[in-house]
Structure 1
């Protein structure tokens, strides 16, 4: 398949994805948690539960000053906390709290039902294919050099944090 054909398919999918998945999802966020804050929590979850501010900023492609504001709000809501890296006390890391884990679990169990009307319209075969397609998309995105570059850039950002804190 050629790039142009894939680009066309991506662009034709975006409106349906927006109206069927993104918009209903955004409407469900509560407790003062913005979409970006939720993404930050899920990014931390994917990173094993903790990371430096610079790493999170690199992974989410959010400027560091904006990330600081977002993390401050998450700290205020007790969804994340700051702690010193045990290997190097000059580095401050951010980690998910139990409250954050409960929030995301509650969100999944209670609010993800907004997707039921969409999923209920699908045949059993379409549901199976959709689930496999999502698995493949996750696999592909995680394997992209840009994803790996973000991890490496996050490690470099951690080194930068060490230099800044000297």
Structure 2
């Protein structure tokens, strides 16, 4: 891999961000595998997204939020339902509509996912002192929020999803 020349600070930053992203992914994957949750990264993303709804969403809502086709959500839900992490429930206002809700096993899996993510973050942040972590947190907030506000699927870190309330 070739590093960006020092005369291109944005290129260097882009390269550093990509390397950090890959490192975060590798470390998080290792922490998740240790917990043997038996779900895929895509399924974990669906669980995390599902936790942010105050009431069970429709499959179409999940597809839109995840930015995937509805068939992809159906496949993910099928797998999670087989393992008892979610269940399909009829919409009380329209029996033709199916909604997806977390089960107790799904909420427990979410707790495990969050614990694995926290452990991965602790490993990554270990070289930084408290002041550096605060600075990094402020910089990351600025980058995540961007010029138009927070677009992230997972919502603000530290604010529990509906599953934890």
TM normalised by structure 1 equals 0.70
Q: Which residue of 2 aligns with 1:24?
A: 27
Corresponding residue for residue 15 of structure 1? 19
| More divergent stretch after superposition (99-108 vs 5-14) | 5-14
Corresponding residue for 2:45? 39
**Structure 2 SS opposite 1:89:** coil
Provide the C-alpha distance between the structure 2 equivalents of 1:141 and 1:76, rounded to a whole number of angstroms: 41
Structure-2 change in CA distance of 1:118 and 1:110 (3 Å): closer
Once the two structures are superposed, residues 70-96 of structure 1 have per-residue CA deviations (whole angstroms, 9 ceiling, x without a partner) of: 100000111111001112222100011
Question: Larger strand proportion, structure 1 or 2?
Answer: 1
Describe the shift of the 1:47–1:14 C-alpha distance in structure 2 as closer, same or farther (beyond 3 A).
farther
Measure the CA separation in 2 of the matches of 1:96 and 1:138: 27
CA RMSD, 1 decimal:
2.9
Whether the aligned pair in 2 keeps the contact of 1:49 and 1:96 (CA below 8 Å) is: no
How far 1:114 sits from its partner (Å)?
2.7
TM-score by length of 2: 0.71
Partner of 2:58: 52
The verdict on how the C-alpha distance between 1:11 and 1:57 changes in structure 2, with shifts beyond 3 A counting, is farther
Q: May I ask how many residue pairs the two structures share in their alignment? A: 142
Is the contact between residue 31 and residue 116 of structure 2 (CA under 8 Å) also seen in structure 1? Answer: no
